[in-house]
Amino acid sequence: MNHELTIVTTADGSNTIYNADVGEHYHSRHGALQESLHVFVKSGLQYFLERIDTNEISILEVGFGTGLNFFLTADACNHKQIKLSYIGIEAYPVNVEMMLQTGYQQYIPELLWEQFNINYTTALTGKVEINNNVQLHVAHSKLLDFKMKEQVDVIYFDAFAAAHQPEMWNEEAIGHTVSFLKPGGVFVTYAITGNLKRILRSLGFKVEKAPGAPGKREMLRAVKL
């Protein structure tokens, strides 16, 4: 990949990145911020916390990208005083200079943004303490090459769309991803297709349609039985 990345403003005024090599935006053009809050923070993080009484949570994100899902999740956990262990998988990490151009620092406290910038490079090589509540590791890895022993509470599946990266949505990729999810854990993604529902059900998930973010009628949420 040549990583031809450019900043694009989405419909809600928040920015995303367009990857010309893939022909895809990192977030919805209908609103990057709205999508991240709705699909991942509300339908993933908050949904899990409403079901499970806990003061700590672990999250795996497939497609760390710009870090927006992490920023909003970390901020929410800081507010609730919930300890967060966050692991992102990213084959082609975005550099700090490009992240600065996104303007995402306006959506989170200044201190959290500063802590992230100080620790991001180290997070690409292992787990680091962002602050007393938040640990982060961004695994510089392709999905099928990623391995870890522990399992997580929630999976954010934020890969590029199947039209551009079909290999991320096949049975092998989804099966590998959900092997890292605990029983009772929650899998969320912005997309919903018959094939994805079939795969997840065959892997022992209860699958449901949930209201989608702006621009999409529905999204998918699944609970591992």
In tens digits, the chain (225 residues) has pLDDT values of 446 899 999 999 999 999 999 999 999 999 999 999 999 999 999 999 999 999 999 999 999 999 999 999 999 999 999 999 999 999 999 998 999 999 999 999 999 999 999 999 999 999 999 999 999 999 999 999 999 999 999 999 999 999 999 999 999 999 999 999 999 999 999 999 999 999 999 999 999 999 999 999 999 999 999
Q: In angstroms, rounded to a whole number, what is the distance separating the alpha carbons of residues 214 and 221?
A: 17
Is 99 in contact with 68 (CB distance < 8 Å)?
Answer: no
* Other beta carbons less than 10 A from residue 216's beta carbon: 16
Helices (H), the chain: 32-35, 47-51, 68-80, 96-102, 110-123, 171-178, 194-202
pLDDT at residue 159, as a whole number:
97
Interaxial angle between packed helices 171-178 and 194-202, expressed in degrees from 0 to 180 and rounded to the nearest 10: 50
Q: What pLDDT is stored for residue 3 in this prediction?
A: 63
Query: Where in the chain are the domains?
Result: 31-224
SS3 content of the chain, % helix, strand, coil (to 5): 35, 30, 35
Categorise residue 154: left if φ over 0, alpha if ψ from -120 to 50, beta otherwise: beta
Predicted model pTM: 0.97
CATH topology of domain 31-224: Rossmann fold (3.40.50)
